[in-house]
Amino acid sequence: MHTRFSPYLLYIIALISVMTAASCSKTETYAEQKEKERKAINSFLSRDAAVVNASGDTLIHVGHINVISEEQFLSQDSMTNFEKNEYVLFGSTGVYMQIVRKGTGPKLESGQSKRIITRYTEFNILTDSVLTSNDVLYYSTTPDIMDVTNSYGTFTASFNIENGGGAMYRTYGSTEVPGGWLIPLTYIRIGRQTSAEGIAKVRLIVPHTQGQNLARNSVYPCFYEITYQETR
């Protein structure tokens, strides 16, 4: 989807959201901020949620989410049922994941490194606002690219900025990849697909502890829709 809205508008919205969160943080304890985040995530799970941009256009209909356990997820061949709108909760990180498409091609095996193109939309659950997205015309030639390595099942990654970087780097000024973005790599396949249907696609609910640097500092959770594809 290539919705025509300005990346600068997204940046302004992101900045206002962060400033609002930072302002609140001056009068709230960290425990209170975490409780607010928990309530926001629970509300997002239970309501008929949608990702709506500043123009009022619905980008992603999230819907009512059906949370499943890791045990059920593994019993389903490490897959979530999209028709039932299932998301698996990873207890150790607090990240919720839905695999929309598992992708084609090989998994990233231990000892391997790959350069992966990601296209995404980032939505602040606490403020109900789109923060950043590279799935717009402005970033059509400069997607966010991750250099990823699998070391015995532990994934490390950084954003590649050889060509100036994508929306994440330009917005947050860091090459650090959010921890939540790496969780799907255990389960999806990363290939050099020629059609969208073969490209791995996930949806994530990421608490601040697994998010980008401003989310961690200001304690807010984000929803992401992300595709992963090996560079050609």
Beta carbons of 211 and 180 less than 8 angstroms apart? yes
Asked if residue 5 has pLDDT above 80, the reply is no
Asked if the structure places residue 122 within a domain, the reply is yes
Tokens of 115: 């350069």
Asked if the structure places residue 167 within a domain, the reply is yes
Residue 195: pLDDT band by 50, 70, 90 thresholds? confident
- Residue 59 structural domain: 7-230
Domain count, the chain: 1
- For Cα atoms 209, 131, 196, give the angle at the middle one, nearest 5 degrees: 95
Asked if the structure places residue 1 within a domain, the reply is no
Asked if the structure places residue 2 within a domain, the reply is no
Greater confidence (57 vs 22) lies with: 57
Asked if the structure places residue 123 within a domain, the reply is yes
Q: What is the pLDDT of residues 200-231, one digit of tens each?
A: 999 999 999 999 999 999 999 999 999 999 99
Asked if the structure places residue 152 within a domain, the reply is yes
CATH number at residue 100: 3.10.50.40
Q: What is the pLDDT of residues 150-184, one digit of tens each?
A: 999 999 999 999 999 999 999 999 999 999 999 99
Asked if the structure places residue 81 within a domain, the reply is yes
Asked if the structure places residue 204 within a domain, the reply is yes
Residue 12: pLDDT band by 50, 70, 90 thresholds? low
Tokens of 30: 């960290």
Q: What is the pLDDT of residues 97-136, one digit of tens each?
A: 999 999 999 999 999 999 999 999 999 999 999 999 998 8
**Using CB atoms within 10 A of its CB, is residue 36 exposed (0-12), middle (13-18) or buried (19+)?**
middle
